[in-house]
A and B are shown apart, each in its own frame.
Chain A
Amino acid sequence: GAGVSQSPRYKVAKRGQDVALRCDPISGHVSLFWYQQALGQGPEFLTYFQNEAQLDKSGLPSDRFFAERPEGSVSTLKIQRTQQEDSAVYLCASSWGALNSGANVLTFGAGSRLTVL
C-alpha cells in the first residue's frame, strides 16, 4: 500500500482483556518499529523488527506485551491482561532499509488508540 496501515484505529478494552493491534507496513520495507505514545507525550520505543527477526524488544514495558512479524511484513502487537496504564496510542512505523543502513526516514501509521477501562 501507499502508507502504513494500522487497525483497529480505536479499541476499548476492559481491564484484564487481551488485545491485538495490527500493522501493515509499506510493502518491501525491511524495518518495522512499534512505539507507544501516551497522551501529550512523545513516542516511546517498544520494539524493532528487521524483516521477521525481532532484534530489539528492550522497550516492551512488561512480559504482557508481545510482538511478532512472522513473514516479515504484517506485524501484530499483543497486550495480555490489559491494565489502565496501557491506555495510549500505539504507533507503527516502517523504513525501507535495515537499522543503520542510512534508511533513517520513518513512515508512521495513524496509530491505534487503546483505552482500558
Chain B
Amino acid sequence: QQQVKQSPQSLIVQKGGISIINCAYENTAFDYFPWYQQFPGKGPALLIAIRPDVSEKKEGRFTISFNKSAKQFSLHIMDSQPGDSATYFCAASINAGNMLTFGGGTRLMVKP
C-alpha cells in the first residue's frame, strides 16, 4: 500500500527553469510533509518541510505548496541549477513525528 504517491518519476529541466514535483497522500492523519534530496552514493538529506497550517513555505529557491483539501503537496525549484540534479523524495508523518513514509522519488536532471 503506497500511502504517498509521487510524480513524475523523472524530470529534465533546462538551467534557469522551474522544476515541479508533485505528491499526493491518502492518510488524513499525516501532519508533517518534508522533502528530502539525495545525491548518488549519499543518504537523503532534509531540504524543506511544511505543516498543514500553512499553504506555502519558501526557503531560497525552494517552495512547498500544500493543498489540504486535495491531499496534495508539491515542491517547486525556481531558477533550477545543474547542482540541483539529484533524486527528490517527498515524505509524510503523523504527529509531526520522525516515522516518515516516503514517496517513490523523482530523479531530476538540470541541463546546463
Binding site for B on A (CB under 8 A): 4, 31, 33, 35, 40-45, 48, 56, 91, 93, 95, 97, 99-111
Contacts and interface: CB of A to CB of B under 8 A. Distances in A.
Range class of the B interface residue count: 20 to 34
User: DSSP majority for the A interface?
Assistant: loop
Interface in B25-52: 32, 34, 36, 41-46, 49
A95 B97 CA distance: 10
Contacts of B46: 105-106
Interface of B: 4, 6, 9, 32, 34, 36, 41-46, 49, 89, 93-105, 107
A40 B105 contact: yes
A41 B105 contact: yes
Contacts, number: 71
A100 B95 contact: yes
A105 to B, nearest CB: 5
B45 to A, nearest CB: 7
A107 B46 CA distance: 8
B105 A48 contact: no
B95 to A, nearest CB: 4
B104 A103 contact: no
